Structure 1
Amino acid sequence: MTNNAYQVPVNKAIKLADYPASEGKQQDNDYIRDEIIPELVAELKELHLKLHAEEENGILVVLQALDAAGKDETISYIFSNLNAQGLKTTSFKKPSEEESKHDYMWRLHDGLPARGEIAILNRSYYEEVIVTRVHDLVKDIEMPEYVEKEDVWKLRYRQINDYERYLHENGFYVVKFFFNMSKDKQRERLLERMKNPEKNWEFSFNDVKEREHWDTYQQIFEEMLQETSTEYSPWYIMPADDEWHSRSIVSKVMIELLKEINPKFPEIGGEDKEELDKYIKQLEQE
């Protein structure tokens, strides 16, 4: 299956149920992990090194999902293999008191990439059209007087799209991965975290509480994906029950994007080349 099969189409109604949480690839976990992933990571690492050396473009990667869907593991097994100097990761939690005093996109700024960097958002500004909506926190949102409560989400979708377009037009590519996990698989993974003492640290009681809103989350995810997948900032829906398969898709999408950017190692020319040749000769004659 091509990467495009996982990409959410632009300006087209979708049903999240049409994107399977599993493609039956769990049985292939060992093969994908040992045979497929290392080659993909090696290619991704080489392309990222060129991006970092060239320092012309940056990439913002958004990872969005419910708890236990595989965001952290994707960072650990894929992105952590890249050049640390050209990589940054930011986790979005509940807004601090300082962050709440600003517009909802304000806290995004520290997580943005510099030119030559890949910046990863583990959850993101999209929480402001997900959790805020699930828990009906719109009353806490500062809005223009002319905006009705029911219109705030459309407004925010448009603002997010505008901001991602702004980033793209300034040389910063935005790519977004939604980890589509089944309710049964989340239950299985949460129980593993709860029962295994070595994984207790990964568990939060709030994870179970949020399951009570499962259906509402699915409805909101569906609308969010539909309203904010654009040509310049696409969403990809991962079959998150198949953990290693999902990581391979993320790797392939990133490779495809980097090939599109086509970064190159800078070439030395002119006086710098003459100076380089001079010092090469000097060192060779020592």
Structure 2
Amino acid sequence: MKTIKTDDFRITSKINIKDLPTTVDIQSNKKELKAALRDVSKDLAEIQNAMYAYGKYSVLFCIQGMDTAGKDSLIREVFKEFNVRGIVAHSFKKPTDLELKHDYLWRHYIALPARGKFGIFNRTHYENVLVTRVHPNYLMYENMPGIDSVEDVNDAFWDRRFEEINAFEKHIADNGTIIFKFFLNLSKDEQKNRLLRRLNRPDKQWKFSSDDLKERKLWDKYQMCYEEVLNRSSKVHAPWFNIPADDKPAARYIVAKILYDTLKQYADIKEPELPAKEKANIGLYKQELENEN
């Protein structure tokens, strides 16, 4: 199997999204990838257990991608070895009435993981510069001062949103949240194949919506918006990773390996030791339990 290097997937300079790969050859078959993913997921779970006990860091796992990119199944497979107490997942869809009464980042702030936990954002705060940019009429529901029509949504508005999102991530990173942002980069041809598979399989048809085809017609506009997201918000403290997503097993393994290789560098994520007094009396505690009637 080809060695996965985190830096090969990290966005560190200005990119043209058409130049980013949607496939990668890691010289392994599906069986080997499944076994490798299982092993690295177990290693990740051990780090998570130590992080939970240590209680100083949290991890924010953000995942974005076009429809059918494989977000749900990737989350399921990468985190299947985790203890449920240490992980919380959120799937951000259309804002609720309550959420619309707050600023657009509020629902993301209140969903952030506590120290010691992994938080998963399946679709993220970046929907606010992706979907709303493709469909600016959605912004009218936010009832913002100075935004009375779509014509009021100009370049300065989007510049401010990017500044706010970058500031949000810098703030939480400075306070102990380790941020990962994964863009599942799916080709248009592969999306077509996956949509057809959904339609051809009765057990998968429930996943299909006619809106999928409407959004597919806006593919180029979404790609333009994703390109700007990657270029304007990949930071040292909150990097974006381009994950070739045409091959689901490969994408899952790459994401898990990036997580593991990054987190294992945190030498201070370790299980805390018992206080000296408690540690000195371990023999007595064991003896007390063993002598119980």
TMscore range, shorter length: over 0.9
Evaluate the alpha carbon distance shift between residue 85 and residue 242 of structure 1 in structure 2; reply closer, same or farther with a 3 A threshold: same
CA distance in 2, matches of 1:198, 1:187: 18
The aligned counterpart of 2:270 is 264
Tell me if the contact between 1:24 and 1:242 (Cα under 8 Å) persists in the aligned partners: no
The aligned counterpart of 2:63 is 63
Deviates more, 1:142-151 or 1:263-272: 142-151
Tell me if the contact between 1:193 and 1:202 (Cα under 8 Å) persists in the aligned partners: yes
The CA deviation at 1:8 is 0.5
Letter in 1 for 2:52: H
The CA deviation at 1:188 is 0.7
TM-score (norm 2): 0.91
Deviates more, 1:89-98 or 1:137-146: 137-146
The answer as to 2:26 corresponding to 1:30 is no
The aligned counterpart of 1:97 is 97
Tell me if the contact between 2:41 and 2:80 (Cα under 8 Å) persists in the aligned partners: no
CA distance in 1, matches of 2:128, 2:187: 23
SS state of the match for residue 81, structure 1? coil
CA distance in 1, matches of 2:139, 2:126: 18
SS state of the match for residue 95, structure 2? coil
SS state of the match for residue 197, structure 1? coil
Tell me if the contact between 1:3 and 1:253 (Cα under 8 Å) persists in the aligned partners: yes
Letter in 1 for 2:8: A
CA distance in 2, matches of 1:84, 1:163: 27
CA distance in 1, matches of 2:207, 2:27: 22
The aligned counterpart of 1:281 is 287
Evaluate the alpha carbon distance shift between residue 57 and residue 197 of structure 1 in structure 2; reply closer, same or farther with a 3 A threshold: same
The answer as to 2:152 corresponding to 1:151 is no
Unmatched runs of 5 consecutive residues or more in structure 2: none
Tell me if the contact between 2:136 and 2:153 (Cα under 8 Å) persists in the aligned partners: no
CA distance in 2, matches of 1:270, 1:24: 51
The CA deviation at 1:48 is 1.1
Letter in 2 for 1:2: K
CA distance in 1, matches of 2:167, 2:120: 20
The aligned counterpart of 1:84 is 84
Tell me if the contact between 2:132 and 2:139 (Cα under 8 Å) persists in the aligned partners: no
Percent of counterpart pairs with the same letter?
37
CA distance in 1, matches of 2:48, 2:242: 23
CA distance in 1, matches of 2:110, 2:210: 29
CA distance in 2, matches of 1:22, 1:265: 38
Stretches of 4+ aligned residues off by more than 3 angstroms: 24-27, 141-148, 274-277
Q: Which residues in structure 2 correspond to 1:135-150 (within 5 Å)?
A: 135-137=135-137, 140=140, 145=146, 149-150=154-155
Evaluate the alpha carbon distance shift between residue 226 and residue 142 of structure 1 in structure 2; reply closer, same or farther with a 3 A threshold: farther
The answer as to 2:176 corresponding to 1:171 is yes
Match of 2:6 among 3, 8, 27: 3
Letter in 2 for 1:160: I
CA distance in 1, matches of 2:31, 2:17: 28
The CA deviation at 1:273 is 2.2
Evaluate the alpha carbon distance shift between residue 95 and residue 138 of structure 1 in structure 2; reply closer, same or farther with a 3 A threshold: closer
CA distance in 2, matches of 1:53, 1:180: 35
Q: Which residues in structure 2 correspond to 1:207-246 (within 5 Å)?
A: 207-246=212-251
The aligned counterpart of 1:52 is 52
SS state of the match for residue 204, structure 2? helix
CA distance in 2, matches of 1:129, 1:26: 36
Normalized per residue, the structure richer in helix is: 1
Evaluate the alpha carbon distance shift between residue 41 and residue 189 of structure 1 in structure 2; reply closer, same or farther with a 3 A threshold: same
Tell me if the contact between 1:111 and 1:120 (Cα under 8 Å) persists in the aligned partners: no
Evaluate the alpha carbon distance shift between residue 139 and residue 46 of structure 1 in structure 2; reply closer, same or farther with a 3 A threshold: closer
In the TM superposition, what whole-angstrom CA distance separates every residue of 1:176-196 from its partner, at most 9, and x where no partner exists? Answer: 000000011011111111221
The CA deviation at 1:260 is 2.6
The CA deviation at 1:63 is 0.6
TM-score (norm 1): 0.93
CA distance in 2, matches of 1:137, 1:92: 19
Letter in 2 for 1:135: H
The CA deviation at 1:118 is 0.3
Tell me if the contact between 1:60 and 1:119 (Cα under 8 Å) persists in the aligned partners: yes
CA distance in 1, matches of 2:26, 2:254: 12
The CA deviation at 1:248 is 0.8
Deviates more, 1:45-54 or 1:178-187: 45-54
